Amino acid sequence: MEAEDELNTGVLLFLPYRALESRVFAALAEAGFDDFTPAQARVLQRVGPHGTRLTELAAQAQITKQTAGFLVDQLEKAGYVTRVPDPHDKRARLVCGAERARAAKEVADAVVAEVEREWAAHLGARRMRQLREALTLLREITDPWA
C-alpha cells in the first residue's frame, strides 16, 4: 500500500470504535433495549452518577442545547432518564440515569469487556496495554472533560 493510500489515524481509530458500537447495539437490541439511537446513547453516556445539567450534556456531546433537550426528552419518554431539581440551584434541573439505563449499561459493559478481550488476544497483552496508554495520553489533548 502506498503512503497516499494509507488510512489516516482518525479513520483507524473510528473503524474499531464503529465495530465495537455495532456489537454493543446488537446485544442491547437482543436484550430488549432497542428503543434508542446512537445519538441518544452518546448523550446518555455523559449523564453523571449524580445527574448532569442539560447544558453540560450538550457541551460534552458537542451538540446544541436544543438537540440535547430533544434527545433527553426521547430518553425520558423511553424510561432511560429522569429530570430532578438540582439541589444546588433550585432554578436548574439535573438529568439522571434511571434503572432502565443502568440495566442497559450492564449489557453494554459486558460486550465492551468481551470485545476488549478479543482485541487483546489479537494484539497481545503488551500491544493492548500500549494502545490503551497511547489513547489515554491523547485524551489529555482531545477531551476537555478528562
19 inside domain: yes
Q: How far apart are CA 140 and CA 146, in angstroms?
A: 7
79 and 110 fall within a common domain: no
Quote the pLDDT of residue 90.
Answer: 85
91 and 43 fall within a common domain: yes
pLDDT bin (cut points 50, 70, 90) of residue 3 is low
Q: Which three cell numbers stand for residue 135?
A: 489513547
142 inside domain: yes
1 inside domain: no
Quote the pLDDT of residue 72.
Answer: 98
Q: Which domain holds residue 62?
A: 37-97
**Residues 81/44, Cβ–Cβ less than 8 Å:** yes
CATH of the domain at 42: 1.10.10.10
Percent of the chain topping pLDDT 70? 97
Is the pLDDT score of 1 beyond 70? Answer: no
At 93-137, the pLDDT tens digits run 999 999 999 999 999 999 999 999 999 999 999 999 999 999 999
Quote the pLDDT of residue 35.
Answer: 94
139 and 102 fall within a common domain: yes
46 and 90 fall within a common domain: yes
64 and 52 fall within a common domain: yes
Count of domains forming the chain: 2
Cα-based distances in Å from 82 to 38, 42, 48, 78, 101: 19, 16, 12, 10, 10
